[in-house]
Amino acid sequence: MGRCKARLHTQNGEVIKQLNDHSHDSSSVGVEVATVITTIKRRAESTVENTVQVINQCIGNLSQAGQAAIPNTAAVRKVIRRKRNEIHNAPLDPAVLGDLVIPDAYKVYRSEGAVEENFLLHDSGRNDNNRILIFGRETWIQYLQSSQTWFVDGTFSIAPRLFAQVYVIMAKKLRGVHPILYALLPNKQRATYVQMFEAIKNLSPNLHPNSVSCDFESAAISAISECFPDTAIRGCFFHLAKNMKKHLTDMGFVALYNNDAEFALKAKMVISLVFAPLDDLDGFVEELGQELPQELQPLLDWFEDNYIGRLNRRGNGRRRPFFRQKLGICTIEY
């Protein structure tokens, strides 16, 4: 075997350039692993994905030999945290929320021209066991004031350690819908949502939307109803479809849904009832019930119980569904 002509250029321990292929198996595996580690570091710098997401996005094309040679997950997670701490000069994670200290640099937003504005808009305090932090550009609160509809949603995959979720408040800005506030919440309890919305109301006068579009999380919906009693609450059709698929999973039919086009179409017909005119709803439900296969009858029952209500025995209307009981008002937005 001739002399290996491969060349590897590094900078500060990171691979920046590779020329030619190694002619030695062991070296090629080492290069592959080093390249993946560099990719992981760069992705950690450029995204807000959690460590597991970063790793999974970067190791998918590793060879079997590379997968065997790459450091274990715990070690790679340390690499990601170390790289992010270097870039952002982030403080170490505390053991409990009460020990979390927000650096001054994290409390302000610097725009072009070195103009500063408040970014940490609310901190319920280090003595609060259910501590809540709300971030957002102070000058953008005006868009919450002017937007007649707010759009809210919680996400769990990017929540920092010690917090359960990042709850985003969005509003109409120019010709689109933009995130305005980011709340770090310790749990999904109703009292926590109430505390958050009350804190938002105190940020500025006239923060009272005509409507709020949200998913079907009952605790959050109930909190919105309490904090904004005159506000219409609209469930999002996208989240309704997600809830349906989750219920199919609980029923044990998600594989059938994913692989049988006819079965999937019949399932989607159930949630399509939200498009029916109210005067025709009862007839459509009855007709669909006769058309559905036996396996999907429980899905129709679930939809009636939660979203449109079952028919009264006397035939004079429908019972109040679960979400309407919780809210007073709940319509589907699509």
pLDDT in tens, 259-282: 999 999 999 999 988 888 877 888
For 97-230, the fitting CATH number among 3.40.50, 3.30.310, 3.30.420, 3.30.190 is: 3.30.420
Query: Could you tell me the pLDDT band of residue 318, with boundaries at 50, 70 and 90?
Result: low
CA dist 261 and 133 (Å) reads 45
- Residues 6 or more apart from 16 whose CB is under 8 A from it? 9, 10, 38
CA dist 182 and 30 (Å) reads 41
CA dist 202 and 205 (Å) reads 7
> Could you identify the residue written with the tokens 């689109």?
176
Query: Could you tell me the pLDDT band of residue 327, with boundaries at 50, 70 and 90?
Result: very low
> Could you identify the residue written with the tokens 């679930």?
302
Residue 306: DSSP 8-state = I
Cβ(194)–Cβ(226) below 8 Å = yes
pLDDT in tens, 303-316: 988 887 776 655 55
Every domain range in the chain assigned CATH 3.30.420: 97-230
pLDDT in tens, 96-133: 898 999 988 889 998 777 689 999 999 999 999 899 99
> Could you identify the residue written with the tokens 């219409």?
232
CA dist 223 and 181 (Å) reads 17
Span between the terminal Cα atoms of the chain, in Å: 65
